[in-house]
Structure formats: structure tokens, C-alpha cells
Amino acid sequence: MRPGFAVDIDNVVAQAEQEVQRIFHELTGKPWPSETYASAGGLDTSDLDPDLIERIFDYFHERSIPMLPLVPGARPVLHQLQEGYRIILITARRPTARPQTLAWLEEHGIPFDELHHTKDKPDVAEGIVLAVDDHPEHVSDYLEQGVRVFLMDQPWNRMFSAPGATRVSGWDELWRNLGMSSNPAS
């Protein structure tokens, strides 16, 4: 069995942050509070009203997923990585968003071997040796399991650092950090 590469979806493969901020504006009529970041950066731990947070999550999971843009470089790098690794998509999205998630993955040609919906990311699949995520909590959990982790750089995780986590600004940089020389997009 090929070793596993755990890959988060939102703000790693799919650009979700701007949509979450747009939903906030639509629901409240107010601009996004600049000190708060949405998807991975702490919407669930922010000072926002819990009912508003729930409405944002409901809207995102029920309506927004089909329109999310793809993070540049994700598709070609994942295709190359799938030659040597099982691509295990592990998302904290609600399980009820699975049909929308599968349709989005197919539409964007994202290769994967497994898809899991859970917040307990390191424990869902055996043989995970690499992971990429943008949420400090998940990065820490992977590191505790001895997994080599790439932290996808985002504004909400810039104050976070952990020995063993490699911060990357995108998929091309992740590819280079794996010691790959040729660009997978070519």
C-alpha cells in the first residue's frame, strides 16, 4: 500500500476564505471584521455570535461549495503526488456537504483515493506520512502523530510555528520542499 498524504480542502485546495467573508456581509450588512479570519483562522473560536456562526456555516455548506475557486497549482501537484502516495482528503466540512464536495472535486479534476469529513484528522486513515493543512490545531495534531506536515500559509496562521512544520506559500513551494525538481504543471 502506498503511503498516505493527508490533504485539507478549504484554503488548501479550495479558496474558501473570501466566500465566508462574503456570506458574513450578506447576512449582517456589515464589512468583515478584519481582526477575524473565517474558515480555519478562528471563526469557530471568535467572539462572533454563535447563532451567526452557525448561519454562516449553514450557508457555506448548503450553497457555497459549488462556486469555490481552485487554489492555483493544487491539481497538477496532486496528480503527480498520487503516483507515489494515496491522496487522503480530510476536511472539517460537515458530512452533509459530502455530495457538494464530491461534485466540486470531480468538476475541478482533483485526484484522491479517500475522502473523510471529520475534525479528528490524523486518526481517520492508516499510513499517513505527509499532510498539508492551514489550521494550526490540525497541524499540531499531525505533528504529534509523527507526520511530516506542510502548513499552507494564511493570514490566520502567521503567528503559529511548530518544530517539524514546514510553512509553504502554495503548491509549487510544497512540491519543491518535497525535493521534486520539475514543475508538475509543465
Together in a domain, 62 and 76: no
| Confidence (pLDDT) at 130 | 97
Write the pLDDT tens digit of every residue in 28-85: 999 887 666 545 445 666 678 889 888 988 999 999 999 999 999 999 999 999 999 9
CA dihedral over 128, 179, 160, 60, signed as positive or negative: negative
CA distances 89 to 13, 41, 105, 147, Å, are: 10, 19, 10, 15
* CATH number of the domain bearing residue 162: 3.40.50.1000
pLDDT recorded at residue 35: 67
The pTM of this model reads 0.92
Verify that 119 and 43 share a domain, yes or no: no
pLDDT digits (tens, 9 = 90+) for 116-175: 999 888 888 889 999 999 999 899 999 999 999 999 998 888 888 999 999 999 999 999
Find all residues with CB under 8 Å of 119, minimum gap 6, and list them.
Answer: 92
Q: What is the pLDDT of residue 182?
A: 66
Distance CA 7, CA 21 (A): 23
Note the pLDDT of residue 125. 85
46 lies in the same domain as 126 = no
Residue with cell 497538477: 76
- Residue range 83-108: mean pLDDT, rounded: 96
Structural domain that includes position 45: 17-67
Q: What is the pLDDT of residue 44?
A: 61
Domain contains 184:
no
User: Do 81 and 139 have their domain in common?
Assistant: yes
Provide CB contacts within 8 A for 9, sequence distance 6+: 89, 91, 93, 101
Q: Is residue 186 part of a domain?
A: no
Q: Which three cell numbers stand for residue 96?
A: 452533509
Statement to judge: residues 63 and 75 lie in one domain: no
pLDDT in the model for residue 185: 58
Q: Choose between 158 and 4: higher pLDDT.
A: 4
